[in-house]
Amino acid sequence: MRVYWILLCIFFFVFSSLKSDKHTSNRYTISLKRGHGTPVEFSLQDSANNTVTLSQFRGKFVVISMEANWCRPCLGEIGAMKELQANMLGQNIVWIFVSFDRDKESWDEARKSNNFKGIQVWGKPKSEELKKTFNFDSLPYYVWIDRNGVIVVEDAPRPSVRSTIKQLKLYLNG
C-alpha cells in the first residue's frame, strides 16, 4: 500500500510540473506573429467625456491596459507600468488605460493618483462588450495591437515580467 501512495505522489508531482511549465511558457513567451485578422474597435469616454476610438490610432502600435483600482494585482503593476513607459519613450506607441472601476468617481480619483502617460478611459459601462472583443475575464489584462488595428498579442505579459520590454520591442521593430 505504501508503494502505491509513493508512486501516486510521484506521478502527481511529475504531471503537475509538466503542466505548470507549459503554462508558464505560454504565458511569458510570445511567438512573434503579425496581425492578419480583422481590426478591433471600441468607443469609450475619457475624463472630459470625449469619445476615444481605437481606429483613431491606426498607424501606431497600441498597448491597452485593462485595470481597476479595486484590483490588487493591478495596483501591483503601477510601478512596473511607469518603468515600462519610461523605457519605451520615443517609440511610436499609444498607451490606453481602460478602467473597470465600479463608479466614475473612483476611476477619476485613481486616474489622477496613478498619473499614467497615455489615454485613460472608463470601460465599466461597456465591460461585457470589451470582455467579448478582447477575450478576457480577469484583471489586469494587457493587449497589444498592431498599426493596422489588429490584435497581435492577447493576454500580453504584465509590465512586471522581465521579458516584456524585449518582446514589445520585437513587435515594434519586427
Q: What is the pLDDT of residues 74-131, one digit of tens each?
A: 999 999 999 999 999 999 999 999 999 999 998 998 989 888 999 999 999 899 999 9
For residue 89, give Cα distances in angstroms to 82, 142, 153, 162, 164. 11, 19, 21, 18, 15
pLDDT at 37: 86
Which three cell numbers mark 4?
502505491
Percent residues over pLDDT 90 in the chain: 69
Asked if 104 contacts 74 with a C-beta cutoff of 8 angstroms, the reply is: no
Q: Do 16 and 70 have their domain in common? A: no
Separation between Cα atoms, residue 136 and residue 130, nearest integer Å: 8
Separation between Cα atoms, residue 9 and residue 100, nearest integer Å: 42
pLDDT at 22 over 90: no
Q: Do 55 and 25 have their domain in common? A: no
Q: Do 87 and 119 have their domain in common? A: yes
Separation between Cα atoms, residue 145 and residue 152, nearest integer Å: 5
Asked if 50 contacts 161 with a C-beta cutoff of 8 angstroms, the reply is: no
Asked if 42 contacts 109 with a C-beta cutoff of 8 angstroms, the reply is: no
| Exposed/middle/buried for residue 155 (C-beta within 10 Å: 0-12, 13-18, 19+) | middle
DSSP classification of residue 148? T
Q: Do 135 and 75 have their domain in common? A: yes
Q: Do 20 and 66 have their domain in common? A: no
For the chain, the domain total comes to 2
Q: Do 42 and 111 have their domain in common? A: yes
How confident is the model over 15-40, as a mean pLDDT?
48
Q: Do 37 and 23 have their domain in common? A: no
Asked which of 31-40, 47-56, 83-92, 99-108 is least confident by mean pLDDT, the reply is 31-40
Residue 173 binned pLDDT confidence (cut-offs 50, 70, 90): confident
Average pLDDT, the chain: 84
Q: Do 6 and 57 have their domain in common? A: no
pLDDT at 13 over 90: no
